[in-house]
Structure 1
């Protein structure tokens, strides 16, 4: 499938002595490895109802595992599960593999089974990139439709996230001003949208204030990804719906997509 980050593979359930056997060896069946446990549970569930479908999602490390899970399903020829896989939604996902892995996913999972893949990126999230992404110096690469949200939670579909070089000219000023705005925003957002958006004192002191000294680090916060899906405009989801890259042959409406992402 290409070169894939070893740490993510181990986290998913790689059996070091055996690689990825279709079935766990007898001496490993009590290990509760993520891939095998989830795959077997899904098989039980979809057998109960022929209409059942599922979505794989995760934030950060979870987003990396969400992409790798269907890749291993394809490796094992789990056609029945892949046909029920409706989509992959990741939030603040780091890179997981090289160009060959990208091609494998696009050909053997996304195109072959019509699986939707949306990669959510919030503002200056450093986990989703390297300091010197412009030009790209990494072995690994992103792929899939990129939904990029700015600090006002306004989203747009981009071929790739902007501001790739952390050390770009005036980049530090831009990130600092953005962190300052996020600090102010956490105070007025509850007044505009209600108490659900109130951030605790620990969040304000440990995340929002610290972001002034380390701009970009706070943008990996799951709370901002939750807010982006709740407050993001319908236009970005409707645009994604019309994109052949990820909703080919799908009748799902933009509102249904947003509701499913909120539920996840």
Structure 2
């Protein structure tokens, strides 16, 4: 028996064990470069799921299985892990993102995929449940934890948010700005767009990765990166938490949704994470963009907001538990009903059993999003 070594192509993440699919649905037909199209949604969701893996696994899947071109993997500092000022760090980097192109030369598509909330990473879940925010003048209030995950400030020194946002706007960087996810991705994206003159770029992510995916172009807007944003094809997120208030949403929509929508936010059924942080009279967090909501039968609706937006109320409790029972039963027979590629792993079934206690947690798992895209009506 060979024990896989962390960081190698045989070391698979928890998410990879829950859903082991790596092939694209549109491999034979090609990718339709239209925001909201099924093939592009499938590519983005698979890239979002792949972001949970290490660089060796990602390289292998992108180059060999997808026949595309892996560009790079970045392991960046999350500023919430910084100890003091901009000098001392903890040993662990917790914001991951990778970039790939549809081909190595004269590419048509560049994809940036942020890693989401790892199931057993307490820091990631603390970020999702955080309710603090920082106000960017003339733009709106932004979730402070997500700004930290992008490497754009630290709450122990609140002025660092404004300093870093302004510094990266003028390209005059403090030392730690060069280790931030925002900086390294923007820098690489600029060079890729220069190299591939006909390419447009997509930004995507699942869970926390979805929040970072929409935050990245939001900060590009703040920095007036017009030449870069002209090449933005779209943003597709899956199970994404709220990132800011109504003012922020209005600002982003006025820039990204005209003349046609480019930001699509996908929500599966009772997924807990898109209902966080709360949209109520106390916290005032708001979703924006086009919401594609899938119920437990994979039926799609285009809505302004998912049902039960704050995930509370006794009148929702019984239906949520009944749905969790249905999803467990369906998971057991998925392979027989839809084919062997849909057969759920024992880890996936265990996640659905956990969902009997916390229904919204199992609904957040990536298999629900992959199945919704591929089987949805």
The answer, yes or no, to whether TM exceeds 0.5 is yes
Q: What are the superposed Cα offsets for residues 121-148 of structure 1, whole Å, 9 maximum, x if unpaired?
A: 0101111115975x66432101111110
- Distance (whole Å) between structure 2 residues aligned to residue 83 and residue 170 of structure 1: 45
Q: For residue 118 of structure 1, what is the aligned residue in structure 2?
A: 264
Q: Deviations over 1:183-219 (max 9, x none)?
A: 11112111122121111112212x1111112222211
CA distance in 1, matches of 2:153, 2:311: 36
Distance (Å, rounded) in 2 between the aligned partners of 1:19 and 1:29: 7
Matched residues, number:
229
Quote the offset at 1:9 in angstroms.
0.5
Q: Deviations over 1:233-261 (max 9, x none)?
A: 2xxxxxxxxxxxxxxxxxxxxxxxxxxxx
Deviation at 1:90, TM superposition (A): 0.8
**Structure 1 runs, 4 residues or longer, greater than 6 Å off:** none
Q: Which residue of 2 aligns with 1:198?
A: 343
Decide which of 286, 289, 296 is 1:144's aligned counterpart. Answer: 289
Q: Which one of the candidate residues 80, 85, 93 is aligned to 2:240?
A: 93
**Alpha-carbon offset, residue 14 of structure 1:** 0.2
Q: Give the TM-score normalised by structure 2.
A: 0.57
- Judge which range, 82-91 or 185-194, deviates more: 185-194
- Structure 1, unpaired ranges of 5+: 234-264
Please list the CA deviations of residues 156-188 of structure 1 after superposition, one character each: whole Å capped at 9, or x if unmatched. 111211123534344221111100110111121
Query: In structure 2, what is the equivalent of residue 209 of structure 1?
Result: 353
- Residues 162, 26 of structure 1: alpha-carbon distance in 2 compared, 3 angstrom cutoff: closer
Partner in structure 2 of residue 223 of structure 1: 367
Name whichever structure is richer in strand by fraction.
2
> CA deviation digits over 1:40-97, x for unaligned, max 9?
1111111123210011111111111111111111111111110010111111111111
How far residue 108 of structure 1 moved from its aligned partner, in angstroms, is: 3.0
Structure 2 Cα separation of the partners of residues 157 and 54 of structure 1: 24
Cα RMSD for the two superposed structures: 2.0
Which residue matches 2:200?
Answer: 53
1:115–1:74 Cα change, 3 Å: farther
Give the structure-1-normalised TM-score: 0.80
Describe the SS at the equivalent of 1:212.
coil
Conservation of the 8 A alpha-carbon contact between 2:151 and 2:177 = no
Match of 2:298 in 1: 153
1:166 aligns with 2:328: no
- Is the CA contact 1:131–1:167 (under 8 Å) kept in the aligned structure 2? no
Could you tell me whether the CA contact under 8 Å between 1:86 and 1:115 is conserved in 2?
no
